[in-house]
Amino acid sequence: MSDTALRSFHAVALHGGFSAAARALNISQPTLSTQVKALEARYDTPLFIRKGRSVHLTPEGTQLYQITTRLHQYEIEAQALLKSFAGLQAGSLRLAAVGPFHATDMIVAFKERYPGIDISVEFANTRRSLDRLLAFEADIGLVAQASDDPRITTLPYSTHDVVVFAPRGHPFFDRDSLSIRDLQGQKIIQREPGSRTRAAMETALRKYDVQVDVVLDLGSREGIWKAVEKGLGLGYVSDFEFVPHPNLRAIPIRDAEVQTVYFLAYMTERRHAHLIRAFRKMALPKPESNPKPRKGQ
């Protein structure tokens, strides 16, 4: 941002206060305060509500912050583009992912190709990950659901079968496969509402009119694995997420298609950003074999 006052405003909004913003910009707090007050006076618009040492954005300030966030991101992308002319030797990429399994593999592959790029990742559910894209808090999303928002492009990159897993001692433990109807009346431990794996299984159970006994909803895969190991019931998970364990066994469902699809997501307006294009090329190396994107491609 070339306007110094806008840059100062953005720093205060980003860091939540004048002192932290002054440290981030390496200027004195009085200088920073003067620049922000001058901006408010120039347009006769209050941008912050000041209460002691804390500051909060006004509605006008919130709208302006959304714009300066974009400007800040475009400035970063402009710098990354200039650096890319030397071969993507520096820069940073922020990922928002629903889990570590695909994300870890992609990060390793990308770092091998572009070791000078710093990568950070936040794990959260699909909704949170897409929200981070829209807020310019992440560059790439690795999510479990396509977005219908035209501002976001989603590209399917991986499809996986859902498998049931049983603890040692359960009648299913030595089975090579199951029928979906074998789950009738079984005690089940499942993910929280909003989980795509849970949604896929619930759809299949309704289709085949199978009733299960849900004993627990848990918000983590690790929690489900531990509960299943303790014998509280059966669990289910995408096959690539199952971690081999001596007391647990993954069992495929032979007569029902229960699948999850994973997507690469990014802001449609940022599709030409060099790092996003590079990550997409790495994650989807053969465009001719990829399904068509949902939005903006």
Look at residues 175, 223, 172 and name the one whose alpha carbon lies nearest to residue 195.
223
Residues found in the chain: 297
Look at residues 291, 270, 288 and name the one whose alpha carbon lies nearest to residue 279.
270
Pairing of strands 140-143, 259-267: antiparallel
pLDDT tens figures, 19-63 = 888 888 888 888 889 999 999 999 999 999 988 778 899 999 999
> What is the reported pLDDT for 288?
38
Q: Is the pLDDT of residue 125 over 70?
A: yes
* 44 three-class SS: coil
CA distance 195 to 193: 6
Q: How many helices (H) and strands (E) does the chain have?
A: 9, 11
User: 42: exposed, middle or buried (C-beta count within 10 Å: 0-12, 13-18, 19+)?
Assistant: exposed
CA distance 156 to 175: 32
Look at residues 68, 119, 105, 92 and name the one whose alpha carbon lies nearest to residue 274.
92
Which residues contact residue 138 at a Cβ distance below 8 angstroms, ignoring those fewer than 6 apart?
A: 94, 95, 96, 122, 129, 132
Q: Is the pLDDT of residue 205 over 70?
A: yes
Look at residues 233, 229, 289, 262 and name the one whose alpha carbon lies nearest to residue 162.
262
What are the tokens at 30? 């009085």
Taking the CA atoms of residue 72, residue 77, residue 79 and residue 85 in that order, the dihedral angle to the nearest 10 degrees is: -170
> What is the reported pLDDT for 297?
46
Side-chain-side CA neighbours of 207 within 13 Å: the count stands at 11
DSSP assignments along 167-190, one per residue: ETTSTTTT-S-B-GGGGTT-EEEE
Spell out the domains of the chain, with CATH numbers in brackets: 4-72 (1.10.10.10), 79-157+261-289 (3.40.190.10), 160-259 (3.40.190.10)
Q: Is the pLDDT of residue 287 over 50?
A: no
Look at residues 228, 236, 175, 244 and name the one whose alpha carbon lies nearest to residue 200.
236
Look at residues 77, 48, 42 and name the one whose alpha carbon lies nearest to residue 64.
48
pLDDT tens figures, 210-251 = 999 999 998 777 889 899 999 999 999 989 888 889 999 999
Taking the CA atoms of residue 87, residue 92, residue 97 and residue 99 in that order, the dihedral angle to the nearest 10 degrees is: 90
Look at residues 237, 224, 217, 233 and name the one whose alpha carbon lies nearest to residue 185.
233
- Global pTM reads 0.62
